[in-house]
Amino acid sequence: MFQTLLNKLSAHPGLWGFLRRVVEDGFDAEKDVIRRELDPWRDRGKRQFLDFGCGTGEFSICFPPESYTGVDIARHYIHYAGRRRPGRYAVMSGAGLGFASGSFDGALVLGVFHHLPDDLVRTVLADLHRVLRPGATLLVMEDIPSPRPWNVLGHLMHWLDRGDYIRQDDAYRRFDAAVLLAAPQLSYQERYLRPGSVCVRPS
């Protein structure tokens, strides 16, 4: 019954986005990492950024509007973002990005992979590598289950998020390795904020 209610809430992008912002404390910690690692406002107008799985475009405000492209598989989320958020938006799946190779100087993947099975995550990583230019930065942030049973808010957020593939930290370490094998010119940069946060940069 409650799951049915959550499904109905998520069908309304504005309402679902408001609920997520309340639970996630306005995503302030995530936005701080975006500013630090992608530095979107440096050299404004000279770089392009891709937000893969952008949802309602929550993080578009972290980027110059002319430099931001958000993609998501949910058409109603993209429609919502296009009417209310700055930047460009398109409906695309993780099976193939409709961009030319080397189109972007940076990419953000925030809270997406825990909705995708392993084989599709690997496909997405390979295509992200394709559309990124040499010297680009890939920033991936994912939640993992809290090891602390008293972290009620963390467990509630995972339940609300409804991801079918929420992984432990060691699983994301294997994906790190997959990225580096697919793109040997990249190097593992840093893991912080919370387990599952990864920044990959050129070596």
- CATH of residue 55's domain is 3.40.50.150
Residue-level pLDDT at 196: 44
Distance CA 128, CA 50 (A): 9
Q: What pLDDT digit, counting tens, does each position of 100-109 carry?
A: 999 999 999 9
Q: How far apart are CA 158 and CA 29, in angstroms?
A: 17
Q: Which pTM was predicted?
A: 0.76
Domain count, the chain: 1
Residue 101 belongs to what domain range?
A: 2-202
175 to 46, 144, 168: CA distances (angstroms):
30, 14, 12
In tens, the pLDDT along 54-103 reads 999 999 999 999 999 999 999 999 999 999 999 999 999 877 899 999 99
**Tokens 């993209």 sit at which residue?**
78
Nearest-angstrom CA–CA distance, 91 and 95: 12
Return left, alpha or beta for 196; rule: phi > 0 is left, psi -120 to 50 is alpha, else beta: left
